[in-house]
Chain A
Amino acid sequence: MKEEILLQLKDIKKSFGTNHIHRGVSLELKKGESLGLLGGSGTGKSVLLRSIIGLENIDDGEIHFRNQRIDQYTEDQMLVTRKNISYSFQSGALFDSHNVFENLAFPLMEHTNLDYRQIKEKVKEMLQLIDLPGRETLMPSDLSGGMQKRVGMARSMILDPSIILYDEPTAGLDPLNTQNVVELMKKLKAKGHASIFVTHDIPSALQLCDRIIILGKGIIIFNDTPEAFRNSIDPEVSKFKSQEDQIKGKSYGH
């Protein structure tokens, strides 16, 4: 049986002034699949995610979600689509004047008809999932960076979207918090959410993702399985792996 394609990017082009970020990026995301989007700094990984949910407008190309072209949607149409494609911000982007409960309850209050008791239950369930039970009344400023990211991730998936876009969820975290976030992402993957995971953290991407994509010079220079990534002798991929190795002092090959 043919796997359902949830998201399709066709020949995306995006520039900021004379800086051509994307020169023709095409990719597909299937139901339940996880893509690891890698690339050096400034290669437009986050811009690609923001373009998918319409926080940035693309210059050319097409974005299809469930066979509907969404890049030409108005902001009001995109607001509806964003209930199905959620975005987990690098910083968490929690509402700083609202506590953890209010942050998590916000999407439910906005888009569902659940009563207060049901919302409370759902938030409690989410806090269990992200391993932060009983922290409902804490303000974002009371949370560590890792906790903020986890709450942000929980908020982005509380409406049970089809796709979750993770923007560097492990950036700036210590190894323990990184592992916590990765474990959370594994749980979400097991629930059947498709995802695109933008990261510099190659070991986490290899643990989580079904496919690894490398962006470079405005195009996709690699798109294959984690195994193929490990074994790749492609000069561009090898160069990318060695640069990351030098920065992190690790080796990802055999």
Chain B
Amino acid sequence: MSLKVTLNRYLITTHEALKTIGEIKYLFFKIIKGTFEGPFYFKKMLEQIVAIGMGSASIAIVVGLVMGLVMTLNFGYGLMKFGAVYYVPSMVSLSLIREMSPIFTSLLVAGRVASGIAAELGAMNVTQQIDALRALGTSPVKILVIPRFWAAVIALPLLNTISSAFGLLGGLIISHLEFGMAAGFYLDKVRFGVRLHDYIGGCTKSLIFGAIIATIGCYRGLKTKEGTRGVGEATTWAVVTSSIAILVCNFFLTKIFLVIIAK
């Protein structure tokens, strides 16, 4: 009996999860379709770029700088044992630009932006403001979701660029202070180690992560029920789900980019 109950519970959970994935996919297609149908709220998108991008710039700077400092220290002392400390600039810059910067910046921005979007839209939902928009003949997807989606898609690559740049700066500081490398030598190594497609790959990842953050945040905000408690649950759910989605998606994107680069 208990096995049957447990199985039943798992089946229900799986069904709910699949339903949620389907609904998020549906919202994503509505966003793409709505973008081309118009009206497009360009001013609202600019406002969101400022809110998401400028508001998260300090996070990107701190994340990038700290990653650059820590990675250079670890790689430097590790490789010093083998007399390979001069490989540090290439290794650090490549790891930062391809992987670390897109993923860590996106994860931290997800904490700030997905929760913010879910809370804002959730609060609007429980106070009937979303219904009011619909009742006034305006599509909530077009006026609320699409500007946030494109703002995140534009802002995340920019934040990733800032984060990567400060990461390289952190690497430069440690390479110079700890390992006595000249700034010109460090930058030369970075220039030869990192190619344009590495940077484009990192930016493409953060662009996709931006789409994930905005879609999941908006989806949960629009689905919020049960008052203030529901808003709290929505924010937590949005952060956890978007973080997991970013991590899982990163694996597949890394694989795809490696195949493309290998070709």
Contacts and interface: CB of A to CB of B under 8 A. Distances in A.
Interface of A: 50, 53-55, 75-76, 78-80, 82-83, 86-87, 89, 91, 93-96, 106-107, 110-111, 152, 155-156, 159
13 contacts: A54-B134, A55-B131, A55-B135, A75-B134, A79-B138, A80-B137, A86-B135, A89-B135, A93-B129, A107-B137, A152-B132, A155-B136, A159-B137
A158 to B, nearest CB: 9
Interface string B119-152: 0000010011101101111110000000000000
A96 B132 CA distance: 12
B132 A93 contact: yes
Contacts of A110: 136-138
B127 A93 contact: yes
A107 B136 contact: yes
B219 to A, nearest CB: 16
A155 B136 CA distance: 9
Contact of B139 (A76, A94, A155): A76
B135 A53 contact: yes
Interface residues of B, number: 12
Contacts of A95: 124, 129, 132
Contact of A106 (B124, B131, B136): B136
A97 to B, nearest CB: 9
Max chain A CB contacts within 10 Å: which of B127, B131, B132?
B132
Nearest to B120: A97
A91 B136 contact: no
A232 to B, nearest CB: 33
A82 B131 CA distance: 12
Contact of B134 (A82, A111, A159): A82
Nearest to A85: B135
Nearest to A106: B136
B129 A79 contact: no
B138 A89 contact: no
A107 B133 CA distance: 9
A91 B132 CA distance: 11
In this complex, which of B131, B132, B135, B138 has the most chain A Cβ atoms within 10 angstroms of its Cβ?
B135
Nearest to A165: B135
A79 B139 contact: yes
A207 B128 CA distance: 29
Interface string B34-56: 00000000000000000000000
Given A75-B139, A76-B139, A79-B139, A55 B134 contact: yes
Contacts of B124: 95
9 nearest CB pairs, A to B: A93-B132, A93-B128, A87-B135, A82-B137, A83-B137, A79-B137, A107-B136, A110-B138, A89-B128
